[in-house]
């Protein structure tokens, strides 16, 4: 059961941190959502990305459905909104446990945060989300003067840069999937730098001929025949058309080579690391030097910086890194994290995920952005600095 609690404001119950967060969420106009710990696993397996997928606690329901212990709140909150049929825009707050496997250490953590759905002023919504995340750290005892690394990335800018390089769609999707994972991104770029491999030559002759002919339908029909000969039911795994499309994409990926000049431009973009206030100028200079037009993505970046300043965020505390992303696949634009200098794990993090709510079943696309606070980590840091 998913419930939406329409609280008039914070009560006298709970710890000082709980009360401070309740006041913050109430002042932000966020409605509190309570979601089950046991969740359907498919939304996570389909959208969260490999890093989170491998850390999920999976189990089976009585009807054979795949379930999991709640590994984050974003997806359950979005599902709660869809189930409730609420109007937009709307902000939802949450506070509870999430569960993620680790090789050592705790596997359950306390999180709190806000998800903002349906605000069409994306720059203002991004700014408000980041401002509320920083205010949340303050409510939990992290002083504004405490040393923090606050880094911001922008997947939309990365996608705009890739689009300007005119890479094949398959390569753009592959590179976007690696955004924020330096080792995977570097491996993909190294593969792009190599001479194209004649991968179609390694396929069976009849499949190679169909790939070279360029007909997805003909290849899908051939795959369907092979599946029928092998006794595979048509509903088992990928459809013949999906298999055919994937084969075409793999050949395209293997046979594409990025020119040294284009690769150098992309690596120069990814190396950009500067104070956020300086980032629009640095990106404009990169455009001028490389001939890559970032278009509306850069205009929005400037607009969001203005919105952050209007929301009271000190841009001098934030750093922009062009290669920075978060290892969750549903992000589409802004991503950010705040952590102690040199720490491996963030105290707060979030970002924009405009495609997720529609994917989960909303009747139309819904712009969305949110943040989470890792309360156990914050408590430990606040205790050290008290």
What's the pLDDT tens digit per position in 324-341? 999 888 999 999 999 999
pLDDT at 306: 98
For residue 89, cis peptide bond before it (omega within 30 degrees of 0): yes
For tokens 């075409």, name the residue: 248
Tell me the mean pLDDT in the region 196-220. Answer: 67
pLDDT classification of 212: cutoffs 50, 70, 90: low
72 sits in which H/E element = none
Structure tokens given for 294: 């970032």
pLDDT at 221: 83
Residue 44 has pLDDT above 90, yes or no: yes
249 sits in which H/E element = helix 240-255
Nearest alpha carbon to residue 373 among 73, 10, 3: 73
Domains annotated for the chain, with CATH where assigned, are 3-146+349-385 (3.30.930.10), 199-255 (no CATH)
Rounded Cα distance between 124 and 116, Å, is: 11
φ and ψ at residue 190, rounded to 5 degrees: -65, -40
Residue 8 has pLDDT above 50, yes or no: no
Which residue would you say has higher pLDDT here, 254 or 129? 129
Question: Do residues 320 and 279 touch, judged by C-beta distance below 8 A?
Answer: yes
Nearest alpha carbon to residue 174 among 246, 268, 241, 244: 246
What's the pLDDT tens digit per position in 330-386? 999 999 999 999 998 999 999 999 999 999 999 999 999 999 999 999 999 987 655
Residue 1 has pLDDT above 50, yes or no: no
pLDDT at 248: 63
pLDDT at 7: 45
In whole angstroms, how far apart are CA 276 and each of 36, 153, 156, 283, 347?
38, 10, 16, 11, 20
Binding site for L-histidine, by residue number, is: 72-74, 100, 111, 115, 326, 330-331
How many helices (H) and strands (E) are present in the chain, helices listed first?
16, 13
Tell me the mean pLDDT in the region 145-155. Answer: 94
In whole angstroms, how far apart are CA 34 and each of 4, 73, 81, 96, 112?
6, 10, 11, 8, 11
Binding site, by residue number, is: 72-74, 100, 111, 115, 326, 330-331
What's the pLDDT tens digit per position in 169-201? 777 888 888 888 888 888 888 877 774 444 444
Chain mean pLDDT for the chain: 87
Residue 239 has pLDDT above 50, yes or no: yes
Which of 10-14, 104-108, 265-269, 380-384 bottoms out in mean pLDDT, i.e. has the lowest? Answer: 10-14
This prediction's pTM: 0.82
């Amino acid at each position: 059961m998913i419930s939406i609690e329409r609280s008039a404001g914070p009560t006298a119950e709970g710890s000082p941190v709980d009360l401070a967060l309740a006041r913050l969420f109430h002042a932000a106009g966020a409605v509190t959502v309570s979601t089950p710990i046991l969740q359907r696993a498919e939304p996570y397996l389909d959208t969260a990305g490999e890093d989170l997928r491998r850390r999920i606690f999976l189990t089976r329901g009585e009807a054979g459905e795949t379930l999991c212990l709640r590994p984050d709140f974003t997806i359950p909150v979005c599902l709660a909104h869809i189930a409730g049929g609420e109007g937009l825009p709307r902000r939802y707050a949450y506070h509870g446990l999430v569960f993620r496997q680790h090789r050592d250490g705790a596997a359950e953590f306390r999180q709190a945060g806000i998800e903002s759905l349906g605000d069409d002023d994306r720059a203002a919504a991004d700014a408000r989300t980041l401002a509320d995340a920083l205010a949340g750290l303050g409510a939990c005892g992290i002083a504004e003067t405490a040393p923090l690394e606050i880094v911001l990335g922008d997947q939309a800018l990365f996608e705009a840069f890739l689009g300007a390089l005119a890479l094949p769609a398959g390569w753009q999707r592959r590179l976007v999937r690696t955004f924020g994972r330096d080792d995977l991104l570097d491996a993909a770029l190294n593969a792009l730098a190599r001479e194209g491999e004649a991968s179609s030559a390694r396929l069976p002759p009849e499949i190679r001929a169909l790939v070279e002919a360029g007909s997805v339908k003909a290849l899908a029909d051939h795959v369907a025949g092979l599946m029928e000969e092998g006794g595979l039911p048509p509903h088992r795994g990928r459809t013949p058309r999906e298999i055919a499309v994937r084969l075409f994409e793999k050949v395209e990926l293997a046979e594409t080579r990025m020119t040294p000049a284009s690769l150098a431009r992309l690596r120069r973009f990814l190396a950009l690391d500067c104070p956020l206030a300086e980032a629009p100028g640095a990106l404009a200079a990169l455009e001028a030097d490389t001939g890559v037009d970032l278009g509306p993505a850069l205009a929005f970046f400037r607009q969001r910086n203005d919105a952050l300043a209007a929301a009271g965020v000190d841009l001098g505390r934030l750093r922009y890194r062009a290669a920075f992303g978060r290892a969750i696949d549903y992000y589409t634009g802004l991503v950010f994290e705040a952590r102690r200098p040199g720490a491996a794990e963030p105290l707060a993090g979030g970002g924009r995920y405009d495609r997720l709510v529609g994917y989960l079943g909303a009747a139309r696309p819904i712009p969305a952005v949110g943040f989470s606070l890792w309360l156990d980590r914050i408590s430990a840091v606040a205790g050290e600095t008290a």
